[in-house]
Amino acid sequence: MSTVLAPIKPAKKIWVVGAINGDYGALRSVHQKLAQRLMPGDRLVYLGNYWGDGAAENVIATINELLMFRRYFLAKDGVDISDIAFLRGAAEEMLSKLQQIQFAPNPVEVFDWMLTRGIAGTARAYGFDPANVQRTMHQGAHAISQWTSLFADALRRHAGHNALLSDLKHAAYSTDGRLIFVHAGLDGSRPLTGQTDTFWWGGSMFEAITERYYDCARIVRGASQGQVGLQEREFTLSLDGGAGRGGQLIAVALDGQGAITDQLTSS
């Protein structure tokens, strides 16, 4: 069994939360509504991009809010740890790679690329000026290694943050094969175990899916680089409402075939 794929037992309601992008206010709003509807027997899947490029205090508050709501759900009678899954988003993939950037053959270029995709907010959240970090990337492997050590220490000072990052799954699937959950992309020509980094950067491949993927009734993603909002097609569902970018956070409840039975937004 893969350790990077989360098996989800079929249920009458599988709640799915789209990309959050460090938008604490949006997440808090959705959680307040979800708390009134989430029941034992339901499942809960978060589709990534918890860290974001917003204000430092909002990024930290977002992660703390996720950890608190997980405890709230797990405290309900009859709820099992396997009833909730957190997927790794592009933001979390970059955060993991940032902690090993001294091993990159071209750390300056890698960090500059990350800056164009929102890593600055994550750096600020843990007390680092992105411009200073950028200068460090020019100072060689030893200086970069010292910085990544400091960054790791800062991450560990926030209880539960590193543990959450370490526990993220690349994708999730219902054990009856009917539903698949990804962050941004999926290559329809490859099995789940052969996707490499398509989950984070293969959005165009997801949008090109027009045929059934194996026996899956619907593939659900949380982040889109194109159109925001709920995008429902025959075999796919996209839930990026633009949270953290001036839009809203979307959460839906799906039945066992991927049909939407309930919907929440942060507005």
* CB neighbourhood size of 211 (10 A): 8
**Strand 43-46 relative to strand 14-17: parallel, antiparallel, unpaired?**
parallel
What's the Rg (C-alpha) of the chain? Answer: 18
The answer to whether position 152 is within a domain reads yes
Q: How far apart are CA 22 and CA 165, in angstroms?
A: 14
The answer to whether position 179 is within a domain reads yes
Q: Are residues 142 and 98 part of one domain?
A: yes
pLDDT for residue 3: 87
Q: Are residues 174 and 139 part of one domain?
A: no
Q: Are residues 253 and 188 part of one domain?
A: yes
The answer to whether position 211 is within a domain reads yes
Q: Are residues 255 and 190 part of one domain?
A: yes
The answer to whether position 232 is within a domain reads yes
The answer to whether position 130 is within a domain reads yes
pLDDT band, residue 252 (cuts 50/70/90) = very high
Average pLDDT over residues 140-164: 97
Average pLDDT over residues 49-68: 95
Q: Is there a contact between 56 and 125 (Cβ–Cβ < 8 Å)?
A: yes
Q: How far apart are CA 59 and CA 21, in angstroms?
A: 8
Residue 76, domain extent:
18-89+168-265
Domain CATH for 49:
3.60.21.10
Which of 156, 180, 199 represents a domain boundary (last residue)? 156
The closest of 168, 157, 89 to 126, measured between CA atoms, is 157
What value does the mean pLDDT of the chain take?
Answer: 95
Tell me: the pLDDT tens digits for 171-217?
Answer: 999 999 999 999 999 999 999 999 989 999 999 999 999 999 999 99
Q: Are residues 252 and 194 part of one domain?
A: yes
pLDDT band, residue 156 (cuts 50/70/90) = very high
Average pLDDT over residues 71-86: 96
The answer to whether position 115 is within a domain reads yes
Which of 113, 132, 156 represents a domain boundary (last residue)? 156
pLDDT band, residue 54 (cuts 50/70/90) = confident
pLDDT band, residue 255 (cuts 50/70/90) = very high
Where does residue 203 rank: exposed (0-12), middle (13-18), buried (19+ CB within 10 A)?
buried
> Torsion-angle region of residue 55: left (phi > 0), alpha (psi -120 to 50) or beta?
beta
Q: Are residues 219 and 145 part of one domain?
A: no
The answer to whether position 214 is within a domain reads yes
Q: Are residues 41 and 124 part of one domain?
A: no
The answer to whether position 8 is within a domain reads no
What's the pTM? 0.96
Q: Are residues 144 and 102 part of one domain?
A: yes
Q: Are residues 192 and 250 part of one domain?
A: yes
**How many domains in the chain?**
2
Q: Are residues 144 and 213 part of one domain?
A: no
**Strand 171-174 relative to strand 5-8: parallel, antiparallel, unpaired?**
parallel
**Cα dihedral sign for 192, 195, 197, 198?**
negative
Q: How far apart are the first and last CA of the chain?
A: 39
Tell me: the pLDDT tens digits for 212-251?
Answer: 999 999 999 999 988 789 999 999 999 999 999 999 999 9
Q: Are residues 184 and 116 part of one domain?
A: no
Q: Are residues 78 and 122 part of one domain?
A: no
Which of 156, 182, 199 represents a domain boundary (last residue)? 156
pLDDT of 1 > 70? The answer is no
